[in-house]
Every structure is written in structure tokens, then in C-alpha cells.
Copies of this chain bind each other. A is one copy, B any other.
Amino acid sequence: MRLRRENSLLLIVDLQERLLPVIDGGDQAVAEAAWLGGVAQALEVPLWLTEQYPAGLGGSDPRLLEGPGEHQCWQKVHFDAHAEPAFAEALAGSGRHQVVLCGAEAHICVLQTGLGLLEAGYEVAWLTEATVSRRAAEAELARRRLERAGAWAVSADMVAYEWLERCDDARFEDVHRRFLRQRSARPLRFY
């Protein structure tokens, strides 16, 4: 499986304000998800978010909504987002069959959503550094289980370069300047 920007959708699960403080690595997960969200918007990859019971857990972390491009937000009561008919229908209608998945908790809502997507025939990439649980060991267990079920563990950098494919066009120039360069302590032009 190789990610293509024209087939991809980025799905951020339940990175909500009142849940994040108890999550191991929650802050870094938000930063990583927000960074890839920016890349997604630059490349016209749809950016979707889910929120579980927002009356109790709060809304999505505001850093995830700062990008200049569009995003779409879904509320849910099932832990598996794909068990919500409106979500499933909209996803099928999006024409995208590769879902880059991240969020919290890895072993509950992200895992169950991933299983739902795989059962429905989507390709699923698990964004390792942005998928977290209260206990880090449980996030790793969830990742291994979803890999077994067919998902692919990826990093944000991996995804960005796969969406870009080559280094000699204006698209790369733009994303490199706004997103890739800032990621390296010792930046390298065109890489």
C-alpha cells in the first residue's frame, strides 16, 4: 500500500479538550496531527475530525482547526465512527478510499474506527506519533492489533513525502517551504 494524495483523507479522532490532559503524549499528538492537517489542506486532501460526546469531553483542540483550509467535524456516540450512518455515507461519497487515521484513545475509538473502516473495505494508515492513549503501552497494543487487521503504521513525514512523490515541482516547493523545512533542526533544501 502506497498513499496517494488524490485517494487520501485525514481523519483525526476525538482529540478533545477535556480528554487530552490525561493522555500520555497527548500534546505531541495534537502538534503532529495539526502539522499533517496543514499539509493535507495544502494538497487538497480532506481533513475530517470526530468528537465523542462533546458535552462531556469538550470540543476538538483548537490547534487542529487553525489551518486556512476547510475541515469537517462529526459528532458520534458509537466508539467506531464508521458505525454512525451519516459519517459512513459521507465517507463513501467522498471518493477517497485511503484513510490516514490518528487520535485518542488509540485502543478504544481509534481502534474501533479503524476496524470499522477496514471491514468496510478502506485502506487504513495508522499515524503512529499522533495516536495515543492514557497508557502508552495500550496505544502500542492497539497499533499492533490494527496492523494485524490490515492497517499500515506510518509517520507524518512518511505520509507527506508519499503525497508529494517528487521534488521538482511547485507543489513540493510550497509544502517544503511551509511545512517540511521547519521539521528538521538542520534543514536541507529539497528534502
Residues of A at the B interface (CB closer than 8 Å) are 1-2, 18-19, 21-22, 52-53, 56-57, 77-80, 83, 105, 107-108, 111-112, 115, 119, 128, 134, 138, 141-142, 144-145, 147-149, 152-155, 157-158, 161-162, 164-168, 184-186, 188-191
Return the 6 tightest CB-CB contacts between A and B, nearest first.
A77-B168, A56-B190, A108-B161, A78-B166, A53-B190, A22-B186
Given A142-B158, A155-B138, the answer on whether A19 and B56 have CB atoms closer than 8 Å is no
Closest chain B residue to A21, Cβ basis: B186
Quickly give the copy total for this chain. Answer: 4
B188 touching A19, Cβ below 8 Å: yes
Contacts A115-B2, A188-B57, A191-B19 given: A155-B167 contact, CB under 8 Å?
no
Closest chain-B Cβ to A143's Cβ sits at a distance in Å of: 10
Query: Which of these, B18, B77, B112, B134, contacts A2 with CB under 8 Å?
Result: B112
Query: Is there an interface contact between B107 and A56, defined as CB atoms closer than 8 Å?
Result: no
Q: How far is the CB of A106 from chain B (nearest CB, A)?
A: 10
Residue of B nearest to A108 (CB): B161
Contacts of A185 in B (CB 8 A): 22
Task: Tell me the complex Cα distance, A78–B161, Å.
Answer: 10
Contact B188 A157 (CB under 8 A): no
Q: Given the complex, which residues of B lie within 8 Å of A56, measured CB to CB? A: 188-191
Residues on B with C-beta less than 8 A from A188 are 18-19, 22, 56-57
- Whether B148 lies near A190 (C-beta < 8 A) is no
The listed residue (B1, B141, B148, B166) touching A79 by CB distance below 8 A is: B166
Most chain B beta carbons < 10 A, residue from A21, A148, A188, A189: A188
Complexed CA–CA distance, A186 and B67 (Å): 31
The answer on a CB contact under 8 Å between A145 and B152 is yes
Q: Please, which residue of chain B has its CB at the minimum distance from the CB of A168?
A: B77
Least Cβ–Cβ distance between A149 and chain B, in angstroms: 7
